[in-house]
Amino acid sequence: MVIADSTGEKSLVSLIGAAAGATDGGVAALAVRDDALSTLSDAEGDWVPLRLGENGALWVRPDVAYGAGAVGATVPRMTLASDDPAVALLGTMDADTSILAGAVSGTEMQVDVVSLPAVDLGATDNAVLDDIAAKLGTIDADTSAIAAAVSGSEVQVDVVAALPAGANVVGATHDVSGLIVESAVALTVKYAVIDFASSGDNTVVAAVTNKKIRVLSLFLVAADAVTVRFESGAGGTALTGQMSLVANTGFVLPYNPHGWFQSGESALLNLELSAAVSVDGSLVYIEAE
């Protein structure tokens, strides 16, 4: 198809199959250079010019969504040039991760300590460490000595000095030839006479400083009807109840190593009578701590 332009010259609008540049083969299409591909102000459906980049390439936008996973053979792909910064960065990342992989064994990472800095603890810290080391040495020696004395689940004990003759005891209360051994202390057994006939307070055993009068045994007989009671101190704290006796009767408290009753510390042992009746007997006691 041939048409005439405004000058009357003939212009070829299209010639299918003609060689480009040899003869007039058509009209070159014009396009707008738009390097930044700016946003158009035209509305949807308006006529707009084609736009080119700085190198003359037509701007196009592939309308393809790139998803995760394998890319199919017919899906458009993007190829990076070998000198692209992203390619160089991927190479560096690959080398770094290879180094890390070489240091991993199973779920653990091997760490080689090349060197440790010298630490100056100072005179005070060194003195504390020296003291700890000395004490640990002492503990080690002591535990070694204990271990040497252990046989199975038992510890061997060597008696250095011979035990004294007689019945030897440890702790508690025990008789040893007229003594009461209490908490490893030998206490002398003592005796007191009960011979009173006055109503009211009667001192059976006088007070001893820092000691308690502990009665181990006693017997008592009243000549007539009377009420008797033992007390700590004259008219003091009752150590027994009020015991009513009739004529020529009484009672016996047999030997009790733990004592029947005792006065307060530094207090006398008192016998209170309800009437002026003769009351006689005796008792055995110790001066306890």
pLDDT of residue 170: 58
**How does DSSP classify residue 6?**
T
3-state DSSP assignment of residue 237: strand
Domains present along the chain, CATH in parentheses:
173-288 (2.60.120)
pLDDT of residue 179: 80
* Token couple for 68: 């995760």
What is the distance between the alpha carbons of residues 171 and 210, in angstroms, rounded to a whole number?
A: 21
* Token couple for 124: 């005070």
Q: Which residue matches tokens 């003091």?
A: 236
* Positions of the chain with pLDDT under 70: 1-28, 62-80, 162-177
Is this model's pTM higher than 0.85 or not? no
Q: Report residue 279 CA to chain centroid gap.
A: 69
pLDDT of residue 145: 87
> In the chain, what's the furthest Cα-to-Cα distance?
177
For residues 270 and 235, is the Cβ–Cβ distance under 8 A? yes
Q: Residue ranges of the alpha helices (H) in 43-198?
A: 85-103, 122-149
